[in-house]
């Protein structure tokens, strides 16, 4: 019997946080530009893209920086709750 992986990162019918981060990052010409705009290290940002099967959950302070920079709620960024942001800062 195969054991199903359970974790806080992916809830049923919810996209992982990296999908919402990627959605915000697509407005920039590159991931590096997004990381610079958010005040985070590019290597830190790239870490979340590397592990597709079970990506790590970004720390709260990093998510807060991204949410504040992009004008989205932390709740939406972390969990996908609330509405998808309609207006976000354009690069």
pLDDT digits (tens), the chain, 91 positions: 454 444 444 444 567 889 999 999 999 999 999 999 999 999 999 988 876 667 678 899 999 999 999 999 999 999 887 665 655 555 5
Residue 7 lies in a domain: no
For the residues of the chain, what is the DSSP string, one character each?
-PPPP--SS--TT---HHHHHHHHHTTSSSHHHHHHHHT--HHHHHHHHH-SSSPPPPPHHHHHHHHHHHT--HHHHHH--SPPPS-----
Q: Tell me how many domains the chain contains.
A: 1
Residue 10 lies in a domain: no
Residue 63 lies in a domain: yes
Q: What range does the domain containing 28 cover?
A: 17-79
Q: C-alpha 65: how far from its chain's center? A: 11
Q: Say what the pLDDT of residue 89 is.
A: 52
pTM: 0.72
Residue 85 lies in a domain: no
């Amino acid at each position: 019997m195969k054991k199903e992986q359970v974790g806080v990162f992916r809830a049923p019918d919810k996209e992982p946080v990296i999908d919402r981060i990627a959605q915000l990052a697509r407005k920039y010409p590159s991931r590096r530009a997004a990381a610079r705009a958010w005040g985070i290290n590019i290597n830190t940002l790239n870490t979340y893209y590397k592990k597709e099967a079970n990506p790590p959950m970004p720390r709260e302070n990093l998510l807060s920086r991204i949410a504040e920079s992009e004008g989205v709620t932390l709740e939406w960024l972390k969990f996908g709750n609330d509405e998808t942001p309609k207006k976000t800062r354009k690069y």
